[in-house]
């Protein structure tokens, strides 16, 4: 399958470190697949607001959700401009010079206009995408969303049309003179996100097995 | 030491899930101490932009830095409003109902006006704070920043005056009827950020020991 390339509007085109830009859509999907949260940016009263929140992808649409009581979500539902950023930290990069210390990371910065999801079928697909991102397997395992619960959730859609993916990977890079004559250690310290042992809720009967979608999550 | 409480302007006061608000300054310091990156929000051409970047704290000032060639950093250096958010994901919360799925997390959302750091002494303190956050121990170990390198870095300061800290911790919470009659598993799957084995740069001689500040980082 050939994927449409990402758009290259001025704000989604990197002006610096262009070698770190990934322009294909698969790179965007890859970053989104691994993330647990995004940071949603919007403008309120002229000032920026950045909030951590869950997300899910269905095709070329990104879905976010929140309580209908949240002012930020109500604002977003009005169709304002948003910026949604997902960042994966892969390593701390130690160089021989402080100035060349860095991080290995993958980030996706998505620009778009938020749209409130009102169609019932799309809302179900969105909630499924959000669940599959947060807790794969729970859609099949847990009690579904009833009408009252669905009404209390506002779902926002953002088209995956204008986005910039940036990747820094690989070794430390130092100035030639530091490579030549330096003695400090340089290299990469990997950063990993891992899951610890599951802790059952107090109301889950003793001896209840932890289901595979939780137990084997990696 | 008694710390000044965080301010409670309308935008830094939670309107929902108020039980998740931490109002003391120590809670803010605690979140900032553990994070590796922040998400910097600013407004460009009327639209929000959210970028991942490193940060450091010195007293009640948060420092960010970037290349003097970066348009976003140049904008921030002009003294515009910014929002800086640091989020730590602690666990996936599985509930018996999809609607009560959640995350345990700690987040700090800082509002302020950016200020460019021009004083040489403050710039040094800022670069030290940034280094100590990214790579504790490197300030003492690696080659320092020379005048040319310092000139290529723009440092931005944000006062830690207006901030909201939000914490969700503890067990899953389900509706009484699901607790009573549900059979789905519920509980908490801890999420941890860990460091893998250090990988020396190609130009570090074989057999060079990994220094303790890298080797023992936890």
Contact A194 B191 (CB under 8 A): yes
A154 lies in some domain: yes
A216 lies in some domain: no
A204 lies in some domain: no
Distance CA B85, CA B111 (A): 9
Residues in B touching A11 (Cβ below 8 Å): 44-45, 47, 49
Residue of B nearest to A105 (CA): B52
Our measurement of the distance from residue A71's CA atom to the centroid of its chain's CA atoms, rounded to an integer in Å, reads 22
Task: Work out the minimum CA distance from B116 to partner chain A, whole angstroms.
Answer: 18
Question: What is the band of B77 on the pLDDT scale with cuts at 50, 70, 90?
Answer: confident
Closest to A49 measured CA to CA, from A9, A84, A86, A13: A84
Residue A206 has pLDDT above 70, yes or no: yes
Q: Which residue has the tokens 């570090």?
A: B204
Q: What is the pLDDT of residue A68?
A: 80
Q: Are B211 and A96 in contact (CB under 8 A)?
A: no
B19 lies in some domain: yes
Residue B182 has pLDDT above 50, yes or no: yes
A167 lies in some domain: yes
A14 lies in some domain: yes
Residue A83 has pLDDT above 90, yes or no: yes
- Answer left, alpha or beta for residue A96, where phi above 0 means left and psi between -120 and 50 means alpha: alpha
Interchain contact B133–A (C-beta under 8 A): no
For B50, which of A44, A83, A103 is closest by C-beta distance? A83
CATH number at residue A36: 2.30.110.10
Closest to A83 measured CA to CA, from A47, A58, A120, A49: A49
Question: What is the band of A19 on the pLDDT scale with cuts at 50, 70, 90?
Answer: low
Distance CA A132, CA A186 (A): 39
Angle at A167 between CA A213 and CA B145, to 5 degrees: 125
Q: What is the pLDDT of residue B6?
A: 60
Which residue range is the domain that position B70 belongs to? 10-189
Which of B143, B146, B165, B183 is the best substitution to test chain A (most A C-beta atoms within 10 A)? B143
CA dihedral B100, B106, B109, B110 (to 10 degrees): 170
B199 lies in some domain: no
Distance CA B16, CA A71 (A): 9
Q: What is the pLDDT of residue A69?
A: 77
Mean pLDDT, residues B196-214 taken together: 97
| pLDDT, mean over chain A | 92
Contact A48 B41 (CB under 8 A): yes
Task: Work out the minimum CA distance from A93 to partner chain B, whole angstroms.
Answer: 8
Please tell me the total number of residues recorded for chain A in this structure. 218
Q: What is the pLDDT of residue B10?
A: 67
B217 lies in some domain: no
Binding-face residues of B in 5-34 toward A, CB within 8 A: 11, 15-16
The secondary structure of residue B69, as a DSSP letter, is T
Q: Are B60 and B158 in contact (CB under 8 A)?
A: no
ipTM above 0.90, yes or no: yes
Q: Are B76 and B150 in contact (CB under 8 A)?
A: no
Interchain contact A88–B (C-beta under 8 A): no
Interchain contact A181–B (C-beta under 8 A): no
Interchain contact B174–A (C-beta under 8 A): yes
Number of domains in chain A: 1
Contact B142 A211 (CB under 8 A): no
B185-194 burial code (b ≥16 CB/10 A, e <16): bbbbbebeee
Measured CA distances, B67 to A110, A161, A171, A197, B83 (Å): 22, 28, 20, 41, 19
Interchain contact A50–B (C-beta under 8 A): yes
Residues in B touching A39 (Cβ below 8 Å): 39, 41, 50, 85, 87
Q: What is the pLDDT of residue B107?
A: 97
Instruction: Give per-residue pLDDT as tens, A154-170.
Output: 999 999 999 999 999 99
Interchain contact B181–A (C-beta under 8 A): no
Measured CA distances, B171 to A57, A140, A203, B90, B175 (Å): 27, 22, 10, 12, 13
| pLDDT, mean over chain B | 92
Mean pLDDT, residues B106-119 taken together: 96
Instruction: Give per-residue pLDDT as tens, B47-65.
Output: 999 999 999 999 999 999 9
């Amino acid at each position: 399958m050939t994927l449409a390339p990402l758009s290259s509007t001025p704000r989604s085109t990197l002006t610096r470190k262009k070698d770190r830009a990934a322009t294909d859509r698969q790179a965007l999907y890859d970053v989104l697949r691994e993330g647990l949260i995004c940071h949603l940016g919007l403008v309120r009263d002229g000032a920026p607001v950045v909030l951590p929140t869950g997300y899910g992808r269905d095709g070329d649409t990104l879905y976010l959700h929140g309580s209908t009581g949240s002012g930020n979500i109500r604002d977003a539902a009005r169709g304002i401009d948003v910026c949604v950023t997902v960042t994966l930290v892969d390593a701390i990069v130690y160089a021989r010079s402080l100035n060349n210390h860095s991080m290995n990371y993958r980030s996706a910065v998505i620009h778009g206009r938020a749209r409130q999801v009102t169609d019932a079928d799309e809302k179900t697909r969105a909630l499924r995408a959000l669940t599959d991102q947060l807790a794969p397997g729970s859609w099949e395992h847990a009690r579904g969303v009833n009408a009252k619960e669905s009404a209390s959730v506002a779902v926002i859609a953002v088209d995956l049309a204008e986005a910039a993916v940036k990747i820094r990977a690989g070794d430390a890079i130092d100035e030639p003179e530091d490579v030549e004559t330096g003695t400090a250690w340089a290299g990469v310290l990997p950063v990993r996100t891992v899951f610890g042992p599951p802790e059952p809720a107090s109301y889950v009967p003793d001896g209840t097995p932890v289901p595979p979608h939780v137990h084997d999550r990696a």
